[in-house]
Amino acid sequence: MSDEVPEAQSREDETFMRRCLEMAREASARGETGVGALLVRDSNVIAQAGEATREQTDPSAHAEVQAIRIACRHEQSTDLSGCTLYATVEPCVLCGYVIRRAGIPRVVYGVAAGQAGAVTSQYAILSDSNLDGWPPIPEITHGVLADECQDVLKRREAVVLSWSGGKDSSLALAELRADPRVRVVALLTSITRGYDRVSIHGVRRELAEAQAIAAGLPLIEVALDPQSSNEAYEAAFRNALARIRADYPSVRKIAFGDLFLADVREYREKLVSASDFGALFPLWGRDTRQLAEEFIAAGFSATVVCVDTTQLSADFAGRAFDAKFLEALPAGVDPCGERGEFHTFVSSGPMFANPIAVRRGELVLRDDRFMFCDLLADG
Protein backbone atom coordinates (compact mmCIF):
# COMPACT_ATOMS: atom_id res chain seq x y z
CA MET A 1 0.00 0.00 0.00
CA SER A 2 1.13 3.54 -0.70
CA ASP A 3 1.38 5.85 2.31
CA GLU A 4 3.30 8.72 0.72
CA VAL A 5 1.85 10.57 -2.27
CA PRO A 6 3.02 13.84 -3.84
CA GLU A 7 1.38 16.93 -2.36
CA ALA A 8 -0.45 17.83 -5.58
CA GLN A 9 -1.74 14.26 -5.88
CA SER A 10 -2.80 14.34 -2.24
CA ARG A 11 -4.84 17.51 -2.80
CA GLU A 12 -6.49 15.98 -5.84
CA ASP A 13 -7.25 12.81 -3.89
CA GLU A 14 -8.99 14.84 -1.19
CA THR A 15 -11.01 16.73 -3.79
CA PHE A 16 -12.29 13.52 -5.36
CA MET A 17 -12.85 11.88 -1.98
CA ARG A 18 -15.13 14.76 -1.04
CA ARG A 19 -17.17 13.93 -4.14
CA CYS A 20 -17.31 10.34 -2.89
CA LEU A 21 -18.51 11.58 0.47
CA GLU A 22 -21.40 13.36 -1.22
CA MET A 23 -22.41 10.07 -2.82
CA ALA A 24 -22.02 8.31 0.55
CA ARG A 25 -24.21 10.84 2.35
CA GLU A 26 -26.91 10.54 -0.30
CA ALA A 27 -26.80 6.75 0.03
CA SER A 28 -27.05 6.99 3.82
CA ALA A 29 -30.03 9.34 3.52
CA ARG A 30 -31.77 6.69 1.39
CA GLY A 31 -31.25 4.09 4.12
CA GLU A 32 -28.29 2.43 2.40
CA THR A 33 -24.85 1.82 3.89
CA GLY A 34 -22.98 5.12 3.68
CA VAL A 35 -20.48 4.30 0.93
CA GLY A 36 -19.69 6.33 -2.18
CA ALA A 37 -17.38 5.72 -5.13
CA LEU A 38 -16.27 7.32 -8.38
CA LEU A 39 -14.00 6.66 -11.36
CA VAL A 40 -11.59 9.32 -12.60
CA ARG A 41 -9.76 9.48 -15.91
CA ASP A 42 -7.35 12.33 -16.68
CA SER A 43 -8.62 14.28 -13.65
CA ASN A 44 -12.21 14.05 -14.87
CA VAL A 45 -14.97 12.11 -13.15
CA ILE A 46 -16.50 9.64 -15.61
CA ALA A 47 -18.74 7.77 -13.17
CA GLN A 48 -20.01 8.07 -9.61
CA ALA A 49 -22.41 6.12 -7.45
CA GLY A 50 -23.52 5.38 -3.92
CA GLU A 51 -24.44 2.08 -2.33
CA ALA A 52 -27.78 0.82 -3.71
CA THR A 53 -28.26 -2.78 -2.55
CA ARG A 54 -31.60 -2.10 -0.86
CA GLU A 55 -32.93 0.29 -3.48
CA GLN A 56 -32.17 -2.13 -6.32
CA THR A 57 -32.79 -5.33 -4.34
CA ASP A 58 -29.38 -6.42 -5.57
CA PRO A 59 -26.68 -7.59 -3.14
CA SER A 60 -24.01 -6.79 -5.74
CA ALA A 61 -25.05 -3.13 -6.12
CA HIS A 62 -22.11 -1.85 -4.08
CA ALA A 63 -20.98 1.71 -4.73
CA GLU A 64 -17.77 0.60 -6.46
CA VAL A 65 -19.53 -1.94 -8.68
CA GLN A 66 -22.20 0.60 -9.58
CA ALA A 67 -19.56 3.17 -10.54
CA ILE A 68 -17.61 0.62 -12.59
CA ARG A 69 -20.75 -0.40 -14.48
CA ILE A 70 -21.45 3.23 -15.33
CA ALA A 71 -17.82 3.81 -16.35
CA CYS A 72 -17.80 0.77 -18.64
CA ARG A 73 -20.89 2.05 -20.41
CA HIS A 74 -19.33 5.50 -20.65
CA GLU A 75 -16.09 4.10 -22.08
CA GLN A 76 -17.90 1.41 -24.10
CA SER A 77 -15.30 -1.00 -22.80
CA THR A 78 -14.59 -3.22 -19.80
CA ASP A 79 -10.98 -2.00 -19.85
CA LEU A 80 -10.61 0.79 -17.27
CA SER A 81 -6.82 0.67 -17.17
CA GLY A 82 -6.59 4.46 -17.50
CA CYS A 83 -8.75 5.17 -14.44
CA THR A 84 -8.44 5.67 -10.70
CA LEU A 85 -11.16 4.40 -8.42
CA TYR A 86 -12.03 6.37 -5.28
CA ALA A 87 -14.18 4.92 -2.51
CA THR A 88 -14.99 6.09 0.99
CA VAL A 89 -14.50 2.54 2.32
CA GLU A 90 -11.97 -0.13 1.38
CA PRO A 91 -13.48 -2.23 -1.44
CA CYS A 92 -14.76 -5.59 -0.32
CA VAL A 93 -13.75 -8.89 -1.95
CA LEU A 94 -16.64 -8.69 -4.42
CA CYS A 95 -15.64 -5.18 -5.50
CA GLY A 96 -11.96 -6.13 -5.50
CA TYR A 97 -12.64 -8.89 -8.04
CA VAL A 98 -14.42 -6.43 -10.35
CA ILE A 99 -11.68 -3.83 -9.90
CA ARG A 100 -8.97 -6.34 -10.81
CA ARG A 101 -10.84 -7.68 -13.86
CA ALA A 102 -11.40 -4.10 -15.10
CA GLY A 103 -7.65 -3.46 -14.88
CA ILE A 104 -7.98 -0.37 -12.73
CA PRO A 105 -4.39 0.62 -11.86
CA ARG A 106 -5.00 2.77 -8.78
CA VAL A 107 -7.44 2.57 -5.87
CA VAL A 108 -7.86 5.29 -3.22
CA TYR A 109 -10.05 4.75 -0.17
CA GLY A 110 -10.82 6.29 3.19
CA VAL A 111 -11.34 3.65 5.89
CA ALA A 112 -10.71 -0.08 6.16
CA ALA A 113 -13.61 -2.49 5.63
CA GLY A 114 -12.67 -5.10 8.20
CA GLN A 115 -12.95 -8.84 7.65
CA ALA A 116 -14.14 -8.63 4.03
CA GLY A 117 -11.68 -5.99 2.82
CA ALA A 118 -9.97 -6.67 -0.47
CA VAL A 119 -6.76 -4.98 0.76
CA THR A 120 -6.37 -5.53 4.48
CA SER A 121 -8.14 -8.85 5.18
CA GLN A 122 -6.97 -12.41 4.55
CA TYR A 123 -8.86 -12.19 1.24
CA ALA A 124 -6.61 -9.45 -0.12
CA ILE A 125 -7.50 -9.86 -3.76
CA LEU A 126 -6.32 -6.33 -4.58
CA SER A 127 -2.80 -7.03 -3.35
CA ASP A 128 -2.43 -10.66 -4.41
CA SER A 129 0.14 -10.83 -7.22
CA ASN A 130 -0.11 -14.62 -7.56
CA LEU A 131 -3.27 -14.67 -9.69
CA ASP A 132 -2.08 -15.95 -13.07
CA GLY A 133 -3.40 -14.14 -16.11
CA TRP A 134 -4.90 -11.27 -14.14
CA PRO A 135 -4.08 -7.59 -14.67
CA PRO A 136 -1.34 -6.17 -12.39
CA ILE A 137 -2.23 -5.38 -8.79
CA PRO A 138 -3.31 -1.74 -8.40
CA GLU A 139 -1.46 0.92 -6.47
CA ILE A 140 -3.33 1.46 -3.20
CA THR A 141 -3.64 4.75 -1.31
CA HIS A 142 -5.56 4.58 1.94
CA GLY A 143 -6.62 6.88 4.79
CA VAL A 144 -7.77 9.82 2.64
CA LEU A 145 -10.27 11.86 4.73
CA ALA A 146 -10.60 8.77 6.91
CA ASP A 147 -12.39 10.45 9.81
CA GLU A 148 -15.03 11.98 7.55
CA CYS A 149 -15.53 8.68 5.74
CA GLN A 150 -15.97 6.94 9.09
CA ASP A 151 -18.46 9.61 10.17
CA VAL A 152 -20.72 8.86 7.22
CA LEU A 153 -20.30 5.09 7.50
CA LYS A 154 -21.25 5.13 11.19
CA ARG A 155 -23.83 7.90 10.77
CA ARG A 156 -21.68 9.98 13.11
CA GLU A 157 -22.02 13.77 13.13
CA ALA A 158 -18.95 16.03 13.02
CA VAL A 159 -19.27 19.11 15.25
CA VAL A 160 -17.19 22.06 16.40
CA LEU A 161 -17.43 22.90 20.11
CA SER A 162 -17.58 26.47 21.38
CA TRP A 163 -14.76 26.58 23.91
CA SER A 164 -14.15 28.93 26.82
CA GLY A 165 -11.72 26.62 28.60
CA GLY A 166 -13.97 26.44 31.65
CA LYS A 167 -15.89 23.66 33.35
CA ASP A 168 -19.05 23.80 31.21
CA SER A 169 -17.25 23.56 27.87
CA SER A 170 -15.02 20.82 29.34
CA LEU A 171 -18.06 18.86 30.50
CA ALA A 172 -19.62 19.38 27.08
CA LEU A 173 -16.49 17.97 25.41
CA ALA A 174 -16.54 14.93 27.69
CA GLU A 175 -20.26 14.41 27.00
CA LEU A 176 -19.82 14.68 23.24
CA ARG A 177 -16.85 12.33 23.19
CA ALA A 178 -18.89 9.75 25.08
CA ASP A 179 -21.60 9.91 22.40
CA PRO A 180 -20.87 7.47 19.52
CA ARG A 181 -23.10 9.55 17.25
CA VAL A 182 -20.81 12.59 17.46
CA ARG A 183 -17.18 13.47 16.68
CA VAL A 184 -15.73 16.77 17.86
CA VAL A 185 -13.33 18.01 15.18
CA ALA A 186 -12.24 21.39 16.57
CA LEU A 187 -12.66 23.93 19.36
CA LEU A 188 -13.88 27.49 18.75
CA THR A 189 -12.80 30.22 21.16
CA SER A 190 -12.95 34.01 21.34
CA ILE A 191 -9.66 35.86 21.84
CA THR A 192 -9.53 39.57 22.68
CA ARG A 193 -6.88 41.43 20.73
CA GLY A 194 -4.41 43.51 22.68
CA TYR A 195 -4.97 41.50 25.84
CA ASP A 196 -4.35 38.26 23.91
CA ARG A 197 -6.70 36.46 26.27
CA VAL A 198 -9.86 34.39 26.12
CA SER A 199 -12.75 36.84 26.10
CA ILE A 200 -14.75 37.14 29.35
CA HIS A 201 -12.59 34.57 31.17
CA GLY A 202 -9.36 36.55 30.84
CA VAL A 203 -7.22 33.44 30.41
CA ARG A 204 -3.98 33.81 28.47
CA ARG A 205 -4.03 32.53 24.87
CA GLU A 206 -1.12 30.16 25.53
CA LEU A 207 -3.17 28.31 28.15
CA ALA A 208 -6.14 27.92 25.79
CA GLU A 209 -3.72 26.60 23.18
CA ALA A 210 -2.29 24.16 25.74
CA GLN A 211 -5.81 22.89 26.45
CA ALA A 212 -6.44 22.30 22.75
CA ILE A 213 -3.17 20.39 22.39
CA ALA A 214 -4.00 18.27 25.45
CA ALA A 215 -7.45 17.58 23.98
CA GLY A 216 -5.91 16.67 20.61
CA LEU A 217 -8.02 19.22 18.76
CA PRO A 218 -7.29 22.29 16.61
CA LEU A 219 -8.26 25.67 18.05
CA ILE A 220 -10.21 28.08 15.84
CA GLU A 221 -10.14 31.70 17.00
CA VAL A 222 -12.81 34.39 16.90
CA ALA A 223 -10.67 37.54 17.07
CA LEU A 224 -12.36 40.43 18.92
CA ASP A 225 -11.34 43.99 19.71
CA PRO A 226 -11.60 45.14 23.34
CA GLN A 227 -15.08 46.40 24.14
CA SER A 228 -16.44 44.91 20.91
CA SER A 229 -20.02 45.78 20.09
CA ASN A 230 -22.51 42.99 19.64
CA GLU A 231 -22.51 43.68 15.89
CA ALA A 232 -18.72 43.35 15.78
CA TYR A 233 -18.86 40.10 17.74
CA GLU A 234 -21.46 38.63 15.40
CA ALA A 235 -19.44 39.64 12.34
CA ALA A 236 -16.31 38.00 13.77
CA PHE A 237 -18.29 34.88 14.68
CA ARG A 238 -19.76 34.64 11.18
CA ASN A 239 -16.25 34.96 9.76
CA ALA A 240 -15.13 32.04 11.93
CA LEU A 241 -18.11 29.98 10.76
CA ALA A 242 -17.13 30.69 7.16
CA ARG A 243 -13.64 29.32 7.92
CA ILE A 244 -15.19 26.24 9.50
CA ARG A 245 -17.31 25.73 6.39
CA ALA A 246 -14.19 25.88 4.21
CA ASP A 247 -11.88 23.82 6.42
CA TYR A 248 -14.40 21.31 7.80
CA PRO A 249 -17.05 20.82 5.10
CA SER A 250 -18.70 17.94 6.94
CA VAL A 251 -19.50 20.07 10.00
CA ARG A 252 -23.14 21.12 10.18
CA LYS A 253 -23.49 21.96 13.88
CA ILE A 254 -21.77 24.04 16.54
CA ALA A 255 -22.02 22.69 20.10
CA PHE A 256 -22.33 24.89 23.19
CA GLY A 257 -22.01 24.18 26.91
CA ASP A 258 -25.02 26.27 27.97
CA LEU A 259 -27.20 24.81 30.71
CA PHE A 260 -30.53 26.57 31.17
CA LEU A 261 -30.68 30.22 30.05
CA ALA A 262 -33.32 30.10 27.30
CA ASP A 263 -32.54 33.58 25.94
CA VAL A 264 -28.85 32.66 25.50
CA ARG A 265 -29.78 29.44 23.73
CA GLU A 266 -32.16 31.27 21.39
CA TYR A 267 -29.48 33.85 20.60
CA ARG A 268 -26.92 31.17 19.74
CA GLU A 269 -29.37 29.25 17.59
CA LYS A 270 -30.19 32.37 15.58
CA LEU A 271 -26.52 33.30 15.26
CA VAL A 272 -25.42 29.97 13.80
CA SER A 273 -28.55 29.41 11.71
CA ALA A 274 -27.82 32.64 9.82
CA SER A 275 -24.76 30.80 8.44
CA ASP A 276 -26.69 27.55 7.81
CA PHE A 277 -25.38 25.75 10.88
CA GLY A 278 -27.36 24.05 13.59
CA ALA A 279 -26.75 24.30 17.33
CA LEU A 280 -26.19 21.44 19.77
CA PHE A 281 -26.51 21.69 23.56
CA PRO A 282 -25.30 18.42 25.11
CA LEU A 283 -25.72 19.59 28.73
CA TRP A 284 -29.02 21.40 28.35
CA GLY A 285 -31.47 20.99 31.23
CA ARG A 286 -29.08 19.12 33.51
CA ASP A 287 -29.24 19.90 37.22
CA THR A 288 -26.35 22.30 37.80
CA ARG A 289 -25.56 21.17 41.34
CA GLN A 290 -25.36 17.59 40.13
CA LEU A 291 -23.20 18.65 37.17
CA ALA A 292 -20.79 20.51 39.43
CA GLU A 293 -20.47 17.51 41.72
CA GLU A 294 -19.99 15.16 38.76
CA PHE A 295 -17.26 17.45 37.46
CA ILE A 296 -15.35 17.21 40.73
CA ALA A 297 -15.96 13.46 41.16
CA ALA A 298 -14.73 12.76 37.60
CA GLY A 299 -11.29 14.13 38.48
CA PHE A 300 -11.40 17.50 36.75
CA SER A 301 -9.27 20.28 38.21
CA ALA A 302 -10.28 23.90 37.74
CA THR A 303 -9.49 27.36 39.08
CA VAL A 304 -11.91 30.27 39.38
CA VAL A 305 -10.44 32.93 37.08
CA CYS A 306 -13.16 35.56 37.07
CA VAL A 307 -15.82 36.65 39.56
CA ASP A 308 -18.64 39.11 38.99
CA THR A 309 -18.44 40.97 42.29
CA THR A 310 -22.04 42.17 41.98
CA GLN A 311 -23.11 38.53 42.42
CA LEU A 312 -20.29 36.91 44.40
CA SER A 313 -17.57 38.09 46.76
CA ALA A 314 -14.24 38.93 45.12
CA ASP A 315 -12.38 36.58 47.45
CA PHE A 316 -13.73 33.61 45.49
CA ALA A 317 -11.39 34.53 42.61
CA GLY A 318 -8.35 32.29 42.43
CA ARG A 319 -9.93 29.48 44.44
CA ALA A 320 -10.01 25.87 43.32
CA PHE A 321 -13.37 24.72 42.03
CA ASP A 322 -13.89 21.89 44.48
CA ALA A 323 -16.33 20.62 47.11
CA LYS A 324 -15.27 23.33 49.57
CA PHE A 325 -15.94 25.98 46.94
CA LEU A 326 -19.44 24.62 46.32
CA GLU A 327 -20.23 24.50 50.04
CA ALA A 328 -19.08 28.11 50.45
CA LEU A 329 -21.31 29.50 47.70
CA PRO A 330 -24.07 31.72 49.05
CA ALA A 331 -27.70 30.93 48.33
CA GLY A 332 -28.82 32.17 44.93
CA VAL A 333 -25.46 31.63 43.22
CA ASP A 334 -25.67 28.88 40.62
CA PRO A 335 -23.21 26.03 41.35
CA CYS A 336 -21.99 26.20 37.74
CA GLY A 337 -22.03 30.00 37.55
CA GLU A 338 -24.49 29.83 34.69
CA ARG A 339 -25.69 33.40 35.27
CA GLY A 340 -22.13 34.70 34.95
CA GLU A 341 -21.39 34.72 38.67
CA PHE A 342 -17.95 33.20 38.06
CA HIS A 343 -15.83 31.57 35.35
CA THR A 344 -13.19 28.85 35.54
CA PHE A 345 -10.13 27.45 33.79
CA VAL A 346 -9.80 23.66 33.60
CA SER A 347 -6.22 22.45 33.95
CA SER A 348 -6.81 18.69 33.94
CA GLY A 349 -9.53 16.18 33.27
CA PRO A 350 -10.42 12.92 31.54
CA MET A 351 -10.53 14.53 28.09
CA PHE A 352 -6.94 15.85 28.33
CA ALA A 353 -3.94 13.70 27.46
CA ASN A 354 -1.92 15.59 30.07
CA PRO A 355 -2.54 18.22 32.77
CA ILE A 356 -1.71 21.87 32.11
CA ALA A 357 0.59 23.14 34.83
CA VAL A 358 -0.46 26.61 36.01
CA ARG A 359 0.25 28.91 38.92
CA ARG A 360 -1.82 31.76 40.26
CA GLY A 361 -0.71 35.29 39.49
CA GLU A 362 -2.08 38.62 40.57
CA LEU A 363 -5.71 39.53 41.21
CA VAL A 364 -6.97 42.42 39.08
CA LEU A 365 -10.31 44.25 39.36
CA ARG A 366 -11.62 45.56 36.03
CA ASP A 367 -14.52 47.90 35.33
CA ASP A 368 -15.03 48.17 39.12
CA ARG A 369 -16.86 44.86 38.86
CA PHE A 370 -14.95 41.83 37.60
CA MET A 371 -12.20 40.33 39.72
CA PHE A 372 -9.75 38.35 37.58
CA CYS A 373 -7.15 35.88 38.78
CA ASP A 374 -4.29 35.77 36.30
CA LEU A 375 -3.06 32.24 35.61
CA LEU A 376 0.43 31.65 34.26
CA ALA A 377 1.96 28.58 32.66
CA ASP A 378 4.10 26.85 35.25
CA GLY A 379 7.15 25.28 33.67
Catalytic: which of 64, 90, 157, 341?
A: 64
- Is 22 annotated in the active site? no
d(CA 166, CA 208): 10
β-pairing, 253-255 with 219-224?
unpaired
d(CA 317, CA 204): 16
Which residues are annotated as catalytic? 64
